[in-house]
């Protein structure tokens, strides 16, 4: 399967833009119209939560007033996780809770009492994707049983920054195993260590991936904010499918050291939140030059000290936006949502012009897949060589999976691992040519479209509404998302909720040039404030399995 088809089948990017089937996913499911329309026992169980939809600013107000402490907030989220993630609808988004969370919260409360508040994240509980190193009692496994028991010797750079900002590391989230780079027939949100994460809107739908647990947890109010990672779509697609805001930054804005890799060319961590403002706050806390990640040197002088200064209600006024014209075709629910979003953008003073990016980006898809295959082997071997994991190479991982097939590969295999492991090193002329074609080609494409049309951003449907969880056949597919152009170029991409199709969220994408996170967040904020399309989940529908 070529890279572009792999993306369209939802393994990294998402699901189709085509009309969503109303048929129930689970074999014993109730009528889907009932599942998507009426309250059920899961909704009733989750109805009352003191911190429901609370923003970072609101949580800070509660701590400043003495109504709450970092400890009490942490305890409330822990109880919420117990009630919804491990019981009730059993969302299965949190792979591990941090045994040190309350101790961290207590220390931060003592600092507050002493008059020291580190910033807007002081005392705020945050969940972290389970491919990011934390030097504590938690494990870092990328969802793989082959890495079970692995505890990192030191924090990833962005975790150091998060601790410095005063956040409480609440736990780690489940993900599509190996960030959805194990099999062409994989199921988003499933890992051999963590099992299947569910979409909190309709429980037998996929949360997309690979940052599935982070997306579901934020949407379901299991934390204040979370961190995901993306190579191509793995932040923005689950954000879209879970009705939240996701930010895929410019590659180089956030360090990748201490994160289990796929691609040195395309990998980045990114914030996932319920509001644009919260995403902006979290983004600002994670930035910084890291000697262990040379790409971050390019961010010197381009990092904004505070991304919230861009958040103005009139940020769309006078801006030219290019809409992906291929996303205007057809009569699907997602297209209807995009057309409605364009009217909101125009009402806020934006000028809309049609552009063609998606079809031109198709030409780079095969080369992108080759880049990821080459860089995955190189990156994973380097990561495992110095890790405390029982496996030391990609070949070791494959051997473990084969020897433990019943647990490690009960539904799909490891064709991508095998294909990657057969390749030679990064000095290969084929790799160099593929990287030039996909990375430089995508940059030239986006730069050209933005410059020619004098655009502040390109807007599009992030991905279609979530499809059925199918552990046998893997993710369904058929239509494009809009993650690949920005992913291949290493450019920023922000997604924000733009409505629902049959009770399932769909996101609106804003893509811009390098280090344009601030202006993009401003555009997304102005749209968010004018549209107010975020709707909290109600955990509808049955789930079998």
Residue 318 in tokens: 């006078």
Give CA–CA dist 209/242, Å, rounded. 10
Contact call for residues 132 and 235 (beta carbons, < 8 A)? no
CA dist 454 → 302, 318, 322 (Å): 21, 12, 9
For residues 507 and 496, give the distance between their C-alpha atoms in angstroms, rounded to a whole number.
5
Contacts of 48 (CB under 8 A, 6+ apart): none
Specify whether the CB–CB gap between 316 and 451 falls below 8 A.
no
**Pick from 321, 331, 332, 287: nearest CA to 307:** 287
Catalytic residue among 62, 93, 129, 248: 129
Give CA–CA dist 476/466, Å, rounded: 9
3-class DSSP state of 527: helix
Q: Is 129 a catalytic residue?
A: yes
Tokens of 155: 């924090």
| Rounded (10°) CA dihedral 530, 350, 232, 445 | 180
- Helix 394-403 vs helix 365-385: crossing angle, to nearest 10: 90
Give whole-number Cα distances, 141 to 258, 264, 391, 478, in Å. Answer: 12, 19, 11, 31
Is 144 catalytic? The answer is no
User: Given 11, 234, 257, 263, which residue is catalytic?
Assistant: 234
Tokens linked to 416:
């991508």
Backbone angles phi, psi at 87, to 5 degrees: -130, -170
Q: 312 catalytic, yes or no?
A: no
- The strand pairing partners of 354, in sequence order, are 323
Which one from 186, 210, 332, 438 is the annotated catalytic residue?
210
Catalytic residues: 129, 210, 234
């Amino acid at each position: 399967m070529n890279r572009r088809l792999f993306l369209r089948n939802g393994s990294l990017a998402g699901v189709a833009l085509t009309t969503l089937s109303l048929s129930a996913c689970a074999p014993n499911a109730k009528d889907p119209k009932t599942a998507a329309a009426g309250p059920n026992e899961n909704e009733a169980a989750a109805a009352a939560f003191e911190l429901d939809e609370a923003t970072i600013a609101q949580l800070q107000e509660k701590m400043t007033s003495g109504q709450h402490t970092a400890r009490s907030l942490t305890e409330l989220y822990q109880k919420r996780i117990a009630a919804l993630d491990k019981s009730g609808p059993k969302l299965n988004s949190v792979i591990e809770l941090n045994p040190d969370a309350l101790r961290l919260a207590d220390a931060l409360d003592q600092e507050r009492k002493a008059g020291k508040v580190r910033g807007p994240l002081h005392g705020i509980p945050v969940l972290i994707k389970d491919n990011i190193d934390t030097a504590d009692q938690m494990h870092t496994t990328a969802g793989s049983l082959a890495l079970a028991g692995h505890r990192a010797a030191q924090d990833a750079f962005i975790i150091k920054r998060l601790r410095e900002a005063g956040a409480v590391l609440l736990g780690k989230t489940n993900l599509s195993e190996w960030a959805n780079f194990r099999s062409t027939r994989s199921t988003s949100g499933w890992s051999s260590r963590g099992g299947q994460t569910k979409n909190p809107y309709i429980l037998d739908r996929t949360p997309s991936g690979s940052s599935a647990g982070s997306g579901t947890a934020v949407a379901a109010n299991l934390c204040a904010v979370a961190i995901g990672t993306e190579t191509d779509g793995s932040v923005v697609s689950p954000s879209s499918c879970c009705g939240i805001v996701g930010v895929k930054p410019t590659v180089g804005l956030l360090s990748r050291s201490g994160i289990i890799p796929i691609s040195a060319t395309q990998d980045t961590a990114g914030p996932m939140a319920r509001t644009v403002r919260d995403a902006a706050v979290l983004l600002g806390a994670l930035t910084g030059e890291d000697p262990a990640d040379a790409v971050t040197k390019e961010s010197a002088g381009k990092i904004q000290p505070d991304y919230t200064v861009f958040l103005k209600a009139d940020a769309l006024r006078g801006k030219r936006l290019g809409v992906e014209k291929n996303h205007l075709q057809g009569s699907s629910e997602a297209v209807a949502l995009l057309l409605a979003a364009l009217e909101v953008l125009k009402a806020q003073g934006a000028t809309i012009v049609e552009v063609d990016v998606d079809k031109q980006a198709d030409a780079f898809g095969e080369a992108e897949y080759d880049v990821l295959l080459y860089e995955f082997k190189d990156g994973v071997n380097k990561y495992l060589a110095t890790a405390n994991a029982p496996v030391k190479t990609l070949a070791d991982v494959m051997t473990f999976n084969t020897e433990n097939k019943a647990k490690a590969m009960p539904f799909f295999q490891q064709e991508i691992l095998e294909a990657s492991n057969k390749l030679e090193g990064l000095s290969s002329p084929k790799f160099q040519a593929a990287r030039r074609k996909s990375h430089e080609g995508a940059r030239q494409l986006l730069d050209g479209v933005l410059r020619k049309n004098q655009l502040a951003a390109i807007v599009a449907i992030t991905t279609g509404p979530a499809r059925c969880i199918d552990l046998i056949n893997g993710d369904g597919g058929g239509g494009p998302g809009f993650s690949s152009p920005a992913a291949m170029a290493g450019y920023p991409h922000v997604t924000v909720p733009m409505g629902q199709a049959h009770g399932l969220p769909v996101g609106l994408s804003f893509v811009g040039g390098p280090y344009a996170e601030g202006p993009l967040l401003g555009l997304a904020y102005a749209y968010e404030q004018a549209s107010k399309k975020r709707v909290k989940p109600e955990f509808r529908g049955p789930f079998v399995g």
